[in-house]
């Protein structure tokens, strides 16, 4: 009879626990939106954080709750936003593709170096001690943006400036955050007129430091006063849409090439 | 006598013999001086003069309402040419008042002395120190008036006068101590009065025994003593000096007044005496010009705002092979790129090197020398690796913000890893992240 005791005790315990478990399952059930799973599946799973959330899953949850835009994933682009729209049962609308653009033309030929820089060869390290170039606003050329890019879309050009591959760029914004000098920003891919300088130096100082610096001469402003203004010794495009295509040749007369059309090399087409 | 010291640290070759015997000479002010408005720790001063204005010697040309700031004075008399950006020793250009010297040195009428400086009230001394624009002259340029006014509830009992000058090559403090002994002691007494402390300790390294004996004699009648310290770098670093002399440890992230101490450099003590006794603001400082790249090595009293070029030319100019100019000592100094950059209140020396080759970096071999030499008890190699790979929170946890950037780790590193530069990258990233969070 002794062998019955353990069988009975264990059997009873098992029964007790199974009742407890099934009760807990009923009571503590978490309702998960099936949409989250569906959205998560169509996302690229790059977990880049370009949408502003900590990963693709977090973005999917935010979309399902209606907190994030359907077009919020910069990596997936239009394709993915269409799919998400279908899951959510709405229209995606037209997303404008943006790409990272470098606002400096201070390449190795144009920008004057201060001296021999012997420090650590990253932009951040050079920036905190004043940089290696005379211009304190321009590109340092050590490629923090190149290392930050998770999509291999940005490379160091031959002349020491980063070149963005517009096709690969997903506008995740990692390079924008990595640049200690804030010379990269995200712009619609169709916008091809840009100011390629961020120097706030006076004309004489800017010219001394870099051949391609904006010298605030105002030629572009006179050509197109409705869209371009001078702010702190620098030409700024206030409203790109107002630039009349016919006026572009006049804007391109910039003596230092600090404003103009983006070149083929800079757009990585060449 | 047993010499006092702190744990760890290093002892680089001193090379003090280059300039030890050179008396302090007054350098004639140049035709144009460039006085930056940002010469101190804290907020830059706002300019009080504009283009075309006539200024006099010792006239206040910059001031700020902020607590962490210092006033700036003209070091010559003449006309303001520009108030604009000019190369600054700390790297990026800064707002600078450029004055054409008329060569007359007409003093400003505000420069009035006090007959009996020792009878002044602590508040009066503090306000005179603030008006004279005095900052810590060891190099960090912390506003002295702030140091002398501890927050409520924190009483100061000891004033330490830092005469260590532990940086190799520099001898400007040594010469000051030798030639202006009485001024320094009087200044120390004023600092003691202003901080309402009980005693003074003057700390001197044992490679300056002559000065030690001199101070011992002249300290008679003053409440305090002179202490002999072991020659070791960084003996003159504030927190290490406090530990060496009093065996008190400044808490993490704290300041010396948390342990009841005020530390002042000998140059600062002299400046305090000058400011109170004769009303002279801080417009001149002692600078060592030394190094193998200079034709002659000298100790000079240089007006603030004098371009490096003027001082270097007075020393016979640069040698042909000179390729590196450092402001400050060789351990903590900053490499410069422009000879038009002016001497500021924190310039303790100008060192010119003739380097044949610059060290190449090798991978870390985990020897642990940086750890056994760090005077702050940190783990430099780990801090470097965290900063290098962007693990800033981990770096902060391991105390990257406690690093004083003394350079012992990098000096001792057999792989020649730029540890201090990486640590600075980490510190900068952490502080800017904190600033972003605040705003």
Asked if residue A193 lies in contact with residue A250, where contact means CB atoms within 8 angstroms, the answer is: no
Give me the residues paired with residue A228 across strands. A237
Please, which pLDDT band fits residue A94 given cuts at 50, 70 and 90? low
B150 pLDDT band, cuts 50/70/90, is confident
A201 vs B contacts (CB less than 8 Å): 85
User: pLDDT exceeding 70 applies to what percent of chain A?
Assistant: 96
The answer to whether B424 contacts chain A (CB < 8 Å) is yes
The pLDDT tens digits for A17-62 are: 999 999 998 888 877 788 888 888 888 888 888 788 888 888 888 8
Residues listed for chain A: 270
Interchain contact, A118 vs B358, CB within 8 Å: yes
Domain A34-88 has CATH 1.20.140.10: no
**Inter-chain contact B425–A125, Cβ cutoff 8 Å?**
yes
Q: How confident is the model at residue A193 (pLDDT cuts 50, 70, 90)?
A: confident
Are B386 and B399 a contacting pair, CB within 8 Å? no
| Fold entry, domain A98-261 | Alpha-Beta Plaits (3.30.70)
Chain A residues lying within 8 Å of B417, measured CB to CB: none
CA distances from B425 to A124, A218, B388, B422 (A): 7, 38, 8, 5
Chain A residues inside the 8 Å CB shell of B85 = 201, 205
Strand partners, B83: B97
Distance of CA A173 to the CA centre of its chain: 2
CA nearest to B91 within chain A? A130
Check whether domain B16-20+113-278 has CATH 3.40.50.620, yes or no? no
In the block, tokens 């600075």 appear at B424
> What pLDDT does B357 receive?
76
Closest CA to B268 of B285, B256, B253: B285
Q: Is the CB of A119 less than 8 angstroms away from the CB of B429?
A: no
Joined tokens for residue B40 = 């101190």
Contact B425 A124 (CB under 8 A): yes
To 5 degrees, how large is the angle CA A121–CA A124–CA A127? Answer: 95
Rounded to the nearest integer, the mean pLDDT of chain B is 90
Secondary structure string (H, E, C) spanning A63-126: HHCCCCCCCCCCCCHHHHHHHHHHHHCCCCCCCCCEEEEECCCCCCCCECECCCCCCCCCHHHH
Judge contact between B365 and B218, C-beta under 8 A: no
Are B236 and B172 in contact by the 8 Å Cβ rule? The answer is: no
Rounded Cα distance between A47 and B157, Å, is: 57
**Ranges B102-116, B380-394, B418-432: which has the least confidence:** B102-116
Indicate the SS3 state at residue B403.
coil
Cβ contact A84:A70 at 8 Å: yes
Question: Which whole number is the average pLDDT over B260-271?
Answer: 93
Q: Which residues of chain B neighbour A119 with C-beta distances below 8 Å?
A: 418, 421
User: pLDDT band at A239, cuts 50/70/90?
Assistant: confident
Tokens representing B124 are 């009066």
Among candidates B93, B323, B337 on the partner chain, residue whose Cβ is nearest the Cβ of A136: B93
Helix (H, G, I), strand (E, B) or coil at A2: coil
CA distance linking residue A177 with residue A144, whole number of Å: 10
Please check whether residue B334 touches A, CB under 8 A. yes
- Confidence check: pLDDT of A269 > 60: no
SS3 B290: strand
Which residues in B lie closer than 8 A to residue A136 (C-beta atoms)?
92-93
Q: How far is B299 from chain A (nearest CA, A)?
A: 27
Q: How many angstroms away from the CA of B355 is the closest CA of chain A?
A: 12
- Which segments of chain A belong to CATH 1.10.15.40? 34-88
Contact B32, B100 (CB under 8 A): yes
Sign of the CA dihedral with A258 first, then A259, A260, and A266 last: positive
pLDDT at A270: 42
Backbone φ and ψ for B157, nearest 5 degrees, come out as -110, -25
- Outline where B49-157 has alpha helix (H): 122-131, 144-148
Q: With CB atoms and an 8 Å threshold, state whether B428 touches A122.
A: no
Chain-chain contact of B334 with A119 (C-beta, under 8 angstroms): no
Q: Are B78 and B72 contacting, i.e. CB atoms less than 8 angstroms apart?
A: no
Distance CA A148, CA A179 (A): 9
**A154 in Cβ contact with A100 (< 8 Å):** yes
C-alpha span between B395 and A169 (Å, rounded): 32
Decide: B93 and B68 in contact? Cβ < 8 Å.
Answer: no
Residue B9 tokens, joined: 């640290």
Distance CA B63, CA B133 (A): 9
Strands, E assignment, B272-319: 284-290, 298-303
CA separation (Å) from A78 to A38, A55, A72, A97, B239?
Answer: 17, 19, 10, 8, 59
**Cα–Cα distance, A188 to A96 (Å, whole number):** 7
ipTM surpassing 0.85:
no
Span A142-162, average pLDDT: 89
Q: What is the token pair recorded at B198?
A: 């009980």
Domain-by-domain residue ranges, chain B?
16-20+113-278, 369-438
**Sheet order of strands, B46-47 included:** B46-47, B60-63, B72-73
Question: Could you give the angle at which helices A56-64 and A34-42 cross, rounded to 10 degrees?
Answer: 130
Domain with CATH 3.30.70.20 in chain A: 98-261
Q: Do A122 and B429 touch (CB under 8 A)?
A: no
Q: Identify the burial level of A193 via C-beta atoms within 10 angstroms of its C-beta, where 0-12 means exposed, 13-18 middle and 19 or more buried.
A: buried
Res. B174 pLDDT band, cuts 50 70 90: very high
Angle between helix axes B181-195 and B209-218 (nearest 10 degrees) is 60
DSSP three-state, residue B98? strand
| CA distance linking residue A171 with residue B328, whole number of Å | 45
Q: Which residues pair with A230 in a beta bridge?
A: A235
pLDDT tier at A261 (50, 70, 90 boundaries)? Answer: confident
């Amino acid at each position: 009879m002794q062998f019955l005791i353990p069988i009975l005790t264990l059997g009873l315990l098992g029964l007790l626990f199974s009742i407890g478990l099934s009760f807990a399952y009923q009571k503590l059930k978490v309702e998960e939106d099936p949409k989250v799973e569906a959205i998560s599946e169509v996302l690229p799973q790059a977990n880049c954080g370009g949408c502003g959330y900590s990963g693709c899953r977090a973005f999917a949850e935010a979309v399902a709750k209606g907190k994030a835009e359907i077009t919020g994933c910069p990596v997936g682009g239009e394709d993915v936003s269409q799919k998400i729209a279908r899951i959510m049962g709405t229209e995606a609308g037209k997303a404008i593709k943006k790409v990272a653009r470098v606002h400096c033309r201070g390449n190795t030929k144009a920008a004057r170096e201060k001296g021999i820089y012997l420090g650590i060869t990253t932009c951040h390290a050079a920036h905190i001690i004043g940089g290696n170039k005379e211009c304190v606003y321009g590109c340092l050329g050590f490629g923090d943006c190149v290392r930050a890019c998770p999509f291999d879309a940005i490379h160091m050009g031959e002349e020491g400036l980063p070149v963005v591959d517009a096709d690969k760029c997903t506008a995740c914004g990692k390079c924008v955050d990595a640049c200690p000098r804030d010379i990269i920003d995200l712009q619609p891919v169709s916008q091809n007129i840009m100011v390629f300088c961020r120097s706030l130096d006076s004309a004489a100082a800017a010219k001394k430091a870099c051949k391609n610096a904006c010298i605030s001469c105002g030629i572009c402003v006179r050509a197109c006063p409705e869209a371009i203004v001078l702010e702190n010794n620098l030409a700024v495009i206030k409203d790109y849409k107002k630039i009349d295509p016919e006026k572009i040749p006049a804007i391109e007369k910039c003596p230092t090439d600090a404003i103009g059309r983006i070149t083929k090399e800079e757009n990585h087409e060449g | 006598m047993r010499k006092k010291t702190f744990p760890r640290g290093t002892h680089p070759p001193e090379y003090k013999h280059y300039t030890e015997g050179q008396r302090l000479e007054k350098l004639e002010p140049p035709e144009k001086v460039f006085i930056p408005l940002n010469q101190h720790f804290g907020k830059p001063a706002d300019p009080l003069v504009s283009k075309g204005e006539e200024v006099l010697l010792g006239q206040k040309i910059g001031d700020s309402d902020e607590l962490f700031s210092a006033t700036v004075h003209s070091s010559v008399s003449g006309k303001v040419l520009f108030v604009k950006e000019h190369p600054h020793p700390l790297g990026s250009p800064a707002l600078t008042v450029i004055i054409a010297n008329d060569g007359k040195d007409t003093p400003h009428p505000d420069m009035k002395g006090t007959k009996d400086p020792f009878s002044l009230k602590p508040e009066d001394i503090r306000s005179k120190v603030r008006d004279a624009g005095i900052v810590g002259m060891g190099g960090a340029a912390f506003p002295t008036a702030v140091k002398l006014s501890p927050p409520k509830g924190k009483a100061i009992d000891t004033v330490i006068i830092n005469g260590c000058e532990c940086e190799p090559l520099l001898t400007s403090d040594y010469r000051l101590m030798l030639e202006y002994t009485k001024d320094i002691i009087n200044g120390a007494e004023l600092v003691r009065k202003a901080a309402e402390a009980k005693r003074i300790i003057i700390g001197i390294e044992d490679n300056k025994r002559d000065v030690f004996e001199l101070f011992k004699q002249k300290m008679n009648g003053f409440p305090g003593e002179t202490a002999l310290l072991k020659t070791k770098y960084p003996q003159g670093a504030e927190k290490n000096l406090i530990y060496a002399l009093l065996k008190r440890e400044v808490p993490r992230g704290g300041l010396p007044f948390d342990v009841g101490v005020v530390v002042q450099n000998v140059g600062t003590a002299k400046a305090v005496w000058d400011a109170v006794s004769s009303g002279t603001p801080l417009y001149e400082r002692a600078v060592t010009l030394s190094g193998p790249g200079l034709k002659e090595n000298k100790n000079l009293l240089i007006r603030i705002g004098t371009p490096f070029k003027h001082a270097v030319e007075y020393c016979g100019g640069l040698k042909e092979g000179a390729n590196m100019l450092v402001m400050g000592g060789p351990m903590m100094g900053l490499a410069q790129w422009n000879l038009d950059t002016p001497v500021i209140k924190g310039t303790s020396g100008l060192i010119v090197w003739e380097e044949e080759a610059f060290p190449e970096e090798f991978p870390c071999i985990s020897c642990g020398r940086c750890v056994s030499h760090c005077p702050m008890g940190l783990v430099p190699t780990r801090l470097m690796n965290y900063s290098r790979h962007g693990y800033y929170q981990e770096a902060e946890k391991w105390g990257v913000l406690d690093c004083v950037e003394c350079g012992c780790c990098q000096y001792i590193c057999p792989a020649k890893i730029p540890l201090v530069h990486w640590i600075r990258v980490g510190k900068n990233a952490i502080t800017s992240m904190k600033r972003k969070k605040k705003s």
